[in-house]
């Protein structure tokens, strides 16, 4: 079999008015035109073994198992490839369901059409579906997991970010049309004079000066301090020769983080020794030339969202962790936690898979644990020093219990920085008491 052409269709097309995201593959079956599936010995059994989840494909029979019945009765390979392309996308976390396979005026040449969510994943699925079909025909082993993993990786590279994606989903639910304007996250909602363009949490109304300020942790802290907002004491350094003096000035325990970092990358918390401080400094330096050293504040991590200078949501964020049961090792507990259907690769689900990295190993080492340690029943073992969802953290909605003074502080922060959409990170024992009373601090605005 040979692929003559793969075309990405966007918008209403000859195959469907409502299904606007389709792949159209021109496929030459070559000698397979004379070999329907019921003439290929063992083909039916092999496809059911490799892709058992295709039992849900109803096909023209209109019942579950309908597709497998068609394969047993005999169907052409273009039709099989259509269903394989749909199924492998679904397995990779991009559920699709529409497909059509039609012969052209040239014998053996078919248009294989199927839906996609991400363009490059759809193209990859088309090519992979042909490879899979050929392996099944020849009774050869096939590494399906490689294709699934690769499609997930492509989706993470090409998909809209979590913030942008959430806004687009809400727009779709309100029947607001949207257009992706580049390969990143620049999106337009609506048309004509009512159109609004945004990227992640920045809109066309967002001040570029405010973005520059918010991107600079040192400048943000200075402005907040001058506005009488409680922040953690600290310094910013770039020279390792200044490390010891800075540590002595701020005092243990400490937090190290890159000046230009995000998503918790490069951060180390609860540093208590000079040796650990040196390691934390070098780790942060891999992400930014300048490193922030702050006083470590004991408490919970909160994120408050402010839109148009009004608090709209607040969440308590917990770092990725597992709870011991006295039986399984930490690695086994991580594997079990990652089986949660809410967790997925990257941003495909509401929660992210927990990965083991330097931060994880450092936290375990501080407790004199390894991945093979069996924690006691009920013991909570934290695996990340930051509570970002992107590193496997979880969150609890606390919007309705935020103290009015804390609401005032957060809305004031958005005005001080000048952001129309502002995410504020707070470390405190709770948000039900004013930060000025419970010792809480703002550590990122």
Radius of gyration of the chain (CA): 27
Indicate the Cα dihedral angle 339, 345, 348, 352, nearest 10°. 70
Apex 78 CA angle, 77 and 83, nearest 5: 95
pLDDT at position 259, please? 81
Report domain 233-296's class: alpha beta
Task: Tell me the backbone φ, ψ of residue 425, rounded to 5 degrees.
Answer: -100, 130
H-helix segments, 358-434: 358-366, 404-417
DSSP characters for 14-64?
SS-SS--EEEEEEEE-GGGGG--GGGSTTHHHHHHHH-GGGGG--GGGTST
Ranges of each domain in the chain:
2-157, 162-204, 233-296
Confirm if 218 and 236 have CB atoms less than 8 A apart: yes
119 HSE (CA, 13 A, CB side): 11
Confirm if 390 and 352 have CB atoms less than 8 A apart: yes
Instruction: For residue 303, give both structure tokens.
Output: 């994120």
Higher pLDDT, 391 or 311: 311
Q: Above 70 in pLDDT, residue 444?
A: no
In the predicted model, what is the mean pLDDT of residues 397-424? Answer: 96
Give the closest residue to 295 by CA, choosing from 248, 259, 244, 260: 248
Q: Above 70 in pLDDT, residue 405?
A: yes
pLDDT at position 226, please? 94
d(CA 324, CA 118): 39
pLDDT at position 366, please? 83
* The pTM of the whole model exceeds 0.95: no
Q: Above 70 in pLDDT, residue 261?
A: no
Give the closest residue to 129 by CA, choosing from 34, 73, 54, 21: 54
pLDDT at position 297, please? 84
pLDDT in tens, 72-124: 999 999 999 999 999 999 999 888 889 999 999 999 999 999 999 889 999 99
pLDDT at position 274, please? 93
Q: Above 60 in pLDDT, residue 445?
A: no
- Band (pLDDT 50/70/90 cuts) for residue 232 is confident
- Band (pLDDT 50/70/90 cuts) for residue 389 is confident
- Band (pLDDT 50/70/90 cuts) for residue 348 is low
In the predicted model, what is the mean pLDDT of residues 300-307? Answer: 93
In the predicted model, what is the mean pLDDT of residues 157-162? Answer: 79
Q: Above 90 in pLDDT, residue 352?
A: no
Give the closest residue to 261 by CA, choosing from 218, 304, 314: 218
422 φ/ψ sector (left φ>0, alpha ψ -120 to 50, else beta): beta
Give the closest residue to 120 by CA, choosing from 39, 6, 270: 6
Cα 416 to Cα 179, 313, 404, 410, 434, distances in angstroms? 33, 19, 18, 10, 19
């Amino acid at each position: 079999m040979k692929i003559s052409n793969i075309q990405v269709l966007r918008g209403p097309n000859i195959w469907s008015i409502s299904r606007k995201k389709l792949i159209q593959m021109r496929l030459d079956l070559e000698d397979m035109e004379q070999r329907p599936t019921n003439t290929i010995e063992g083909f039916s059994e092999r496809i059911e073994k490799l892709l058992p989840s295709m039992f849900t494909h109803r096909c023209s029979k209109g019942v579950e198992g309908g597709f497998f019945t068609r394969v047993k009765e005999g169907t052409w390979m273009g039709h099989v490839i259509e269903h394989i392309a749909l199924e492998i996308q679904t397995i990779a976390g991009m559920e699709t369901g529409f497909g059509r396979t039609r012969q052209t005026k040239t014998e053996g040449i078919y248009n294989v059409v199927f839906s996609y969510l991400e363009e490059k994943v759809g193209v990859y699925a088309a090519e992979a579906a042909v490879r899979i079909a050929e392996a099944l025909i020849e009774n050869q082993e096939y590494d399906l997991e490689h294709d699934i993993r690769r499609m997930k990786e492509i989706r993470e590279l090409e998909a809209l970010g979590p913030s942008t994606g959430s806004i687009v989903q809400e727009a779709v639910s309100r029947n607001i049309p949207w257009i992706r304007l580049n390969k990143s996250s620049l999106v337009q909602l609506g048309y004509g004079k009512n159109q609004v363009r945004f990227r992640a949490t920045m809109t066309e109304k967002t001040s570029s000066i405010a973005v520059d300020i918010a991107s600079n942790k040192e400048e943000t802290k200075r402005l907040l301090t001058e506005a009488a907002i409680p922040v953690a004491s600290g310094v910013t350094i770039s020279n390792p020769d200044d490390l010891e003096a800075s540590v002595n000035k701020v005092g243990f325990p400490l937090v190290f983080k890159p000046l230009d970092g995000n998503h918790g990358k490069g951060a180390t918390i609860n540093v208590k020794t000079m040796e650990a401080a040196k390691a934390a400094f070098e780790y942060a330096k891999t992400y930014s030339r300048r490193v922030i050293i702050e006083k470590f504040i004991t408490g919970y991590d909160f994120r408050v969202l402010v839109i148009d200078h009004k608090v709209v949501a607040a969440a308590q964020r917990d770092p990725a962790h597992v709870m011991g049961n006295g039986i399984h090792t930490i690695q086994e507990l991580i594997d079990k936690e990652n089986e949660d259907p809410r967790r997925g690769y990257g941003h495909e689900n509401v929660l992210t898979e927990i990965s083991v990295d330097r931060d994880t190993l450092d936290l375990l080492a501080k407790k004199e644990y390894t991945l093979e340690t069996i924690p006691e029943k009920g013991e909570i073992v934290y695996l990340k020093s930051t509570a970002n969802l992107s590193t496997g953290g979880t969150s609890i909605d606390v919007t309705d219990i935020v103290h009015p003074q804390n609401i005032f502080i957060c809305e004031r922060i958005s005005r001080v920085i000048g952001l129309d959409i502002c995410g504020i990170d707070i470390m405190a024992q709770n948000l039900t008491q004013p930060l000025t009373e419970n010792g809480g601090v703002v550590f990122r605005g």
